[in-house]
């Protein structure tokens, strides 16, 4: 059933699951062809939005991995990025000389993922790659080189599959355009 704040479903649950399986194979095959310390990739998920994508991805990732999380924010309850990135929760392990895969739900302005990648690179890992479920290239403020991407979507405010409005709607099983006209007087 479609949520009343959904204007249009862009990606169905089935489309997302199919693409995540493909990504799992692509990324697994890539790391199997590399020299990876301890044969373990450290997946660094950016909370909270990464959770549904990362859970689905791990099920389809056929390579030894360790999961770690960071919590960063640039939205603060709005539909547009503030442009200022804050690290609210940092990694609990050393990534020096390790292979890191940064897992993101969405790349929009690029500011958050660029900041986090530079932040991680300062810790001297062997390598940092980026995977995102969705990409909004029209929203870019900085250049970002994604290594793997599930879908490219238009520059609209979207919710579902980890993407939220003010911490809500992450649990929708699809990715949809949010009807932002209804948000001002919406009663939760």
Long-range pairs for 163-170 at CB < 8 Å and ≥24 separation?
163/49, 163/105, 163/106, 163/134, 164/48, 164/49, 165/5, 165/79, 166/77, 167/48, 167/77, 169/3, 169/5, 170/48, 170/49, 170/51, 170/52
Angle between helices 50-60 and 13-32 (to 10 degrees): 60
Instruction: Name the residue among 2, 4, 1 with its Cα closest to residue 185.
Output: 4
Residues with a catalytic annotation lie at 108
CA pseudo-torsion sign 110, 113, 119, 122: negative
Identify the helix (H) or strand (E) that includes residue 149: strand 148-152
Structure tokens at 170: 């992450």
Structure tokens at 112: 């958050």
Identify the helix (H) or strand (E) that includes residue 101: strand 99-107
Residue with tokens 């804050």: 86
């Amino acid at each position: 059933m479609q949520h009343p704040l959904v204007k249009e479903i862009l990606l169905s649950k089935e489309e997302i699951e199919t693409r995540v399986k493909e990504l799992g194979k692509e990324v697994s095959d890539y790391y199997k062809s590399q020299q990876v310390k301890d044969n373990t990739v450290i997946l660094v998920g950016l909370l909270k939005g990464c959770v549904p994508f990362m859970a689905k991805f791990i099920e389809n990732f056929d390579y030894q991995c360790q999961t770690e999380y960071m919590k960063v924010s640039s939205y603060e309850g709005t539909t547009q990025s503030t442009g200022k990135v804050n690290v609210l929760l940092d990694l609990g392990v050393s990534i020096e000389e390790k292979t890191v895969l940064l897992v993101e739900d969405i790349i929009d302005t690029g500011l958050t993922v660029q900041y986090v990648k530079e932040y991680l690179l300062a810790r001297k890992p062997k390598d940092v790659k980026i995977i995102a479920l969705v990409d909004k290239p029209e929203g870019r403020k900085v250049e970002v080189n994604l290594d793997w991407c599930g879908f490219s979507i238009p520059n609209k405010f979207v919710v579902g599959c980890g993407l939220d409005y003010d911490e809500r709607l992450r649990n929708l099983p699809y990715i949809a355009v949010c009807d932002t006209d209804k948000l001002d007087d919406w009663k939760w």
